[in-house]
């Protein structure tokens, strides 16, 4: 396998991220349903819509490099989502549930931030300018979502959880 290049690594990572985004698309409604805060439900709903757009951008990037959009199992995102589901189960009915949901969603966001950050850097190094722009658009959205979740955590949600 010693003839593999950054192009191969880029495609591998693209498939991993494509799998991850599709897994996230299925997982967000579970987080929304479990949330008790309307603001949190709203923020997750906005990110659900964004995720659909991010999947379309990844499909455009596949097209740019002449590859078929397909996923490769991403154990990382499956583990991150499984942990979120465990917290929802364990803290169901608890005043700390929303804080746990925010933490789970931020773990998802940080996984996406690191993957899109890497893909963006590699696209630049490979001279894939159009792909780099698409990946950067998503990276900015992910960073914004993470910030919105941090703001939510620091405002009402955690304060409610800490009242007793």
Interacting residues with its own copies (CB under 8 A): 1-6, 8-9, 12-13, 16, 74-80, 82-83, 87, 90-96, 99-100, 102-103, 106-107, 109-111, 113-115, 117-118, 121-122, 125-126, 150, 153-154, 158-159, 161-162, 164
Cβ-in-10-Å burial (0-12, 13-18, 19+) of 89 comes to exposed
Radius of gyration of the chain (CA): 17
- Distance (Å, rounded) from C-alpha 153 to C-alpha 164? 17
- Distance (Å, rounded) from C-alpha 112 to C-alpha 156? 26
* Nearer Cβ to its own copies (25/96): 96
* Nearer Cβ to its own copies (33/52): 33
* Nearer Cβ to its own copies (52/96): 96
Q: How far is the CB of 94 from its own copies (least distance, A)?
A: 4
Structure tokens at 47: 């990110």
């Amino acid at each position: 396998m010693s003839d593999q290049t950054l192009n191969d690594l880029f495609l591998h990572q693209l498939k991993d991220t494509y799998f991850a985004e599709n897994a996230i698309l299925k997982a967000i409604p579970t987080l929304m349903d479990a949330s008790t805060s309307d603001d949190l439900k709203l923020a997750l709903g906005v990110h659900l819509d964004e995720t659909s757009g991010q999947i379309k951008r990844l499909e455009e990037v596949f097209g740019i490099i002449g590859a078929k959009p397909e996923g490769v199992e991403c154990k990382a995102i499956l583990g991150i989502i499984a942990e979120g589901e465990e917290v929802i189960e364990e803290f169901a009915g608890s005043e700390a549930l929303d804080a746990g949901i925010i933490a789970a969603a931020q773990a998802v966001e940080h996984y996406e931030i690191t993957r899109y950050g890497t893909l963006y850097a590699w696209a630049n190094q490979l001279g894939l300018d159009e792909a780099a722009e698409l990946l950067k658009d998503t990276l900015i959205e992910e960073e914004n979502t993470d910030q919105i979740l941090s703001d939510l955590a620091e405002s009402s949600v955690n304060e409610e959880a800490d009242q007793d």
